[in-house]
Homo-oligomer: A and B are copies of this chain.
Amino acid sequence: MPTEHYAPRLVPPQRLWRLPSWLVNQISVLAYRLVIDAFSGAGFRRDHYAVLSGLEEYGPISQAALCRRLGIDRSDMVAVLNLLEHDGHALRRPDPTDQRRNAISITAAGRRTLRRLDGLVARAQDELLGPLSARERRHLVSLLQRLVDFHVGTPDGAGDSVE
């Protein structure tokens, strides 16, 4: 027999409520759910979108270079590209200038898919940022960018023809 019939407003512990890492993780899970839901109908995942984005922007590029730019592990990249290649969204060819590398490129079908996913992503962002004004959204994005920029830093110099 509940003693509270009115919405009790479930408050998280003060310790966590003040904790940037906890807050960021909560939002990350929320964003994860929104984007996953948006993509699931189309049969894609977040890494697929990230990789297609990278391929369109950078043109032919090696897997390792893509990994560095996207912050995706080399091992996961293999699996993602297997799928994208199998579905005809990406192309994997040996790099003529360096036999160790693959030259990955996006296909026309990949570009079409990317555009479709763009719309789904945009709607998810809007849901995520719900209560924030346009100005606050810009501010938030800018703060997050500074943090990412600071931490990613300059991991390594590794540039080449397919870089």
CB pair B31–A124 under 8 Å, yes or no, is no
The reply on A79 being an interface residue by CB < 8 A is: no
Partner of A143, one of B22, B118, B140, B147: B140
Give complex CA distance A27, B28 in Å.
9
- A30 and chain B: residue at smallest CB distance: B151
Chain A residues at the B interface, C-beta cutoff of 8 Å: 1-32, 34-35, 46, 50, 53-54, 56-58, 68-71, 118, 121, 124-125, 128-132, 136-137, 139-141, 143-148, 150-152, 154-155, 157-161, 163
CB pair B132–A146 under 8 Å, yes or no, is yes
Residues on B with C-beta less than 8 A from A31 are: 20-21, 24-25
Number of copies: 2
Secondary structure at chain A's binding surface: helix, strand, loop or mixed? Answer: helix
Give complex CA distance A68, B11 in Å.
9
CB pair B53–A160 under 8 Å, yes or no, is no
Given contact pairs A27-B144, A139-B139, A53 touches B13 in the complex (Cβ within 8 A): yes
Residues on B with C-beta less than 8 A from A158 are: 2, 8
CB pair B129–A13 under 8 Å, yes or no, is no
Give complex CA distance A159, B7 in Å.
9
CB pair B150–A130 under 8 Å, yes or no, is yes
CB pair A12–B144 under 8 Å, yes or no, is no
Residues on B with C-beta less than 8 A from A148 are: 12, 23, 26-27, 30
